[in-house]
Amino acid sequence: MAASQSIGEALQECPGTMTGSTEPSQIHLQLTDNPSEVVVMWATERRGNAVVEWNGQSADGDSYCYNHDMAFHMATMSDLTPGEEVTYRVGDGGDWSQEYKFTPIDIDANRFEWIAIADYGDSSEAVDVSGAIIADTTAQLVTISGDISYADGEQSAWDDWFVDQEASMTRIPWVTAVGNHENEPGYGFTPYAHRFDADEMKETEPFWYSRDFAGVHMVFMSTEHDYDLGSAQYAALEADLSAANANREERPFIVVIAHKPMYSSNSYHGSEMALREAVEELYQTHSVDLVIAGHDHFYERTWPVFQEEPQSFGGEDGTLFGQGFGPIHIVAGNAGRTPYTEVDEPQPAWSAYREVDTFGYMKIIYDEETRSLSFTFHRTDETIGDQFTIQEGVLNEKEDDTFQLIPGFGTLLPLISLIGAAFLRRDVVLD
Ligand SMILES: [Fe+2]
Ligand SMILES: [Fe+2]
């Protein structure tokens, strides 16, 4: 799935008047939808050529600017063997970076591990999260569910942020969904679109797209662009989810990464009702397993839910879930920004667990042997905030006595949907 808008006209030549160094900085990897290639992006003060060298090969890339005094470069390492380590460096053919190493993700491996965060910035708590990400040597990827650097129009803040993340981003790709803070005063989404090459930027803008990994089909959608029925994004989402749902044998789990949450019991923003009205049914129809959002700066997990009604309380004291009841929605807005500490009382029935005033990151592991996806919220103090597992298929009651599904829920579903629709609130949540 790729966004349909062309960015061609937005790619600007760099002015010849730029001064300073051609030493590469802000080096970071990005994925395309081809697992045998990886894009590397970097910035320099002065414009110059873009060259990447890896494993004895080399390729020329593209250089471009936007309304900021740095030149950006992007080059593709191709014909890579997934799972085999690559050594690379970037430069202009004369000035080179140091050498870095990464291992291209094998999307057919029997294990895949990634870290998910949202609402990040550069506070001391965010630096703690960065440290934890760097220390985690088994994560193959980082996803950010929006609100990334909080540059908010100050372009040097992005430069500093990318330099801060280099130790991780030169080794594993960070793949992103846009948040409201990527829509910057005076710049719109231009800085985001030029600094992250999530989907072959020359042709498309990286606002909605999907990627396959071992066991997981991952969809990055934008809550900051039109997602209503009839929009380009809705059509792309529908086509993508439908194809992914037909491919469960190969990739049993579907995960959506998006900024604003359709379920949040935080009093600051709360549930994004317009989003829920637009896409919840689509997610239900195609059995999305997990949605990881941010925007409210706290942690929350729902039960598998549809139209505000919990569809299952899982097994093993609510830590094990099967598939097909409804997505579990996560708000993971706790990677470094000021916590929003007020929550709605009483806790809604759909909310399984919530926690304010802590910081951390989510680690998600797909294991081919058990065909399961295990999720752990790690706090920065190295304690665990929450943990659960989704396994392929429906939980077997006979094998698991603690399994408790709400009695008769399956048969009541159409009725509940009708009641739910009648009571669906229509308030617009302002940011
Ligand atoms: Fe935020
Ligand atoms: Fe936000």
Query: CATH code at 389?
Result: 3.60.21.10
Residue 105 Cα to ligand 2 midpoint, Å, equals 29
pLDDT value of residue 39: 94
Binned at pLDDT 50, 70 and 90, residue 13 comes out as confident
**Same domain flag for 131 and 70:** no
Pick the closest to residue 143 from 1, 259, 305, 265 (CA basis): 259
What the block records as the tokens of 156 is 């040097």
pLDDT of 93 strictly over 80: yes
Which of 80, 102, 124 finishes a domain? 102
pLDDT tens, residue by residue, 132-167? 999 999 999 999 999 999 999 999 999 999 999 999
Residue 25 lies in a domain: yes
**Element containing residue 376 per DSSP (H, E):** strand 372-379
Residue 1 lies in a domain: no
Residue 431 lies in a domain: no
Asked if residues 225 and 192 have their Cβ atoms less than 8 Å apart, the reply is: no
Residue 296 Cα to ligand 1 midpoint, Å, equals 6
Please compute the mean of the pLDDT values over residues 372-397 and round it to a whole number.
94
Asked if residues 96 and 90 have their Cβ atoms less than 8 Å apart, the reply is: yes
Residue 324 Cα to ligand 2 midpoint, Å, equals 29
Binned at pLDDT 50, 70 and 90, residue 16 comes out as confident
Is residue 112 classed as helix, strand or coil in its secondary structure? strand
Predicted TM-score of the model (pTM): 0.90
What the block records as the tokens of 71 is 């030149």
Residue 128 Cα to ligand 1 midpoint, Å, equals 17
Please compute the mean of the pLDDT values over residues 279-305 and round it to a whole number.
98
pLDDT value of residue 33: 87
Q: Which ligand places an atom closest to the C-alpha of 178?
A: 2
Residue 76 Cα to ligand 2 midpoint, Å, equals 31
pLDDT of 234 strictly over 70: yes
Residue 127 Cα to ligand 1 midpoint, Å, equals 16
Asked if residues 118 and 148 have their Cβ atoms less than 8 Å apart, the reply is: no
Residue 429 lies in a domain: no
Residue 24 Cα to ligand 2 midpoint, Å, equals 31
Residue 224 Cα to ligand 2 midpoint, Å, equals 10
**Same domain flag for 60 and 157:** no
pLDDT value of residue 409: 44
Alpha-carbon dihedral angle through residues 363, 369, 370, 371, given to the nearest 10 degrees: 70
Which one has a higher pLDDT value, 165 or 399? Answer: 165
Residue 145 Cα to ligand 1 midpoint, Å, equals 10
Residues 313, 406: Cα–Cα separation, whole Å: 7
CA angle 7, 72, 41 (to 5 degrees): 90
Residue 428 lies in a domain: no
Please compute the mean of the pLDDT values over residues 318-346 and round it to a whole number.
97
pLDDT tens, residue by residue, 253-272? 999 999 999 999 999 999 99
**Same domain flag for 139 and 192:** yes
Pick the closest to residue 47 from 73, 28, 26 (CA basis): 73
Q: CATH number, domain at 19?
A: 2.60.40.380
**Same domain flag for 97 and 115:** no
**Same domain flag for 136 and 236:** yes
Please compute the mean of the pLDDT values over residues 220-235 and round it to a whole number.
95
pLDDT tens, residue by residue, 104-134? 999 999 999 999 999 999 999 999 999 999 9
Residue 93 domain boundaries = 8-102
Least confident of 64-73, 189-198, 202-211: 202-211
Phi-psi region of 415 (alpha: psi -120 to 50; beta: other; left: phi over 0): alpha
Please compute the mean of the pLDDT values over residues 389-398 and round it to a whole number.
82
Q: Which ligand places an atom closest to the C-alpha of 337?
A: 1
pLDDT of 391 strictly over 90: yes
**Same domain flag for 264 and 314:** yes
For ligand 1, a single-atom ion, the residues with CB < 5 A are 119, 147
pLDDT of 227 strictly over 50: yes
**Same domain flag for 207 and 260:** yes
Burial annotation 54-83 (CB, 10 A radius, 16+ → b, else e): beeeeeebbbbbbebbbbbbbbbbeebeee
**Same domain flag for 350 and 297:** yes
* Backbone phi, psi, residue 252, to 5°: -65, -20
Residue 97 lies in a domain: yes
Which one has a higher pLDDT value, 405 or 157? Answer: 157
Which of 82, 102, 122 finishes a domain? 102
pLDDT value of residue 397: 52
**Same domain flag for 141 and 74:** no
Question: What Cα–Cα distance (Å) separates residue 286 from each residue in 207, 220, 315, 327?
Answer: 21, 16, 23, 10
Residue 430 lies in a domain: no
Residue 355 Cα to ligand 2 midpoint, Å, equals 18
Asked if residues 314 and 262 have their Cβ atoms less than 8 Å apart, the reply is: no
Name the average pLDDT for the chain.
Answer: 89
Binned at pLDDT 50, 70 and 90, residue 431 comes out as very low
Least confident of 168-182, 185-199, 221-235, 301-315: 185-199
pLDDT value of residue 193: 87
Residue 338 Cα to ligand 2 midpoint, Å, equals 12
Domain count of the fold of the chain:
2
**Same domain flag for 245 and 150:** yes
Q: Which ligand places an atom closest to the C-alpha of 269?
A: 2
Which of 49, 80, 102 finishes a domain? 102
Q: Which ligand places an atom closest to the C-alpha of 223?
A: 2
Binned at pLDDT 50, 70 and 90, residue 403 comes out as very low
Q: Which ligand places an atom closest to the C-alpha of 182?
A: 2
Pick the closest to residue 220 from 284, 142, 319 (CA basis): 142
Residue 334 Cα to ligand 1 midpoint, Å, equals 9
**Same domain flag for 300 and 367:** yes
**Same domain flag for 96 and 119:** no
Residue 152 Cα to ligand 1 midpoint, Å, equals 11
pLDDT of 399 strictly over 50: no
Binned at pLDDT 50, 70 and 90, residue 404 comes out as very low
The position carrying tokens 């193959």 is 140
Residue 148 Cα to ligand 2 midpoint, Å, equals 9
Q: Which ligand places an atom closest to the C-alpha of 180?
A: 2
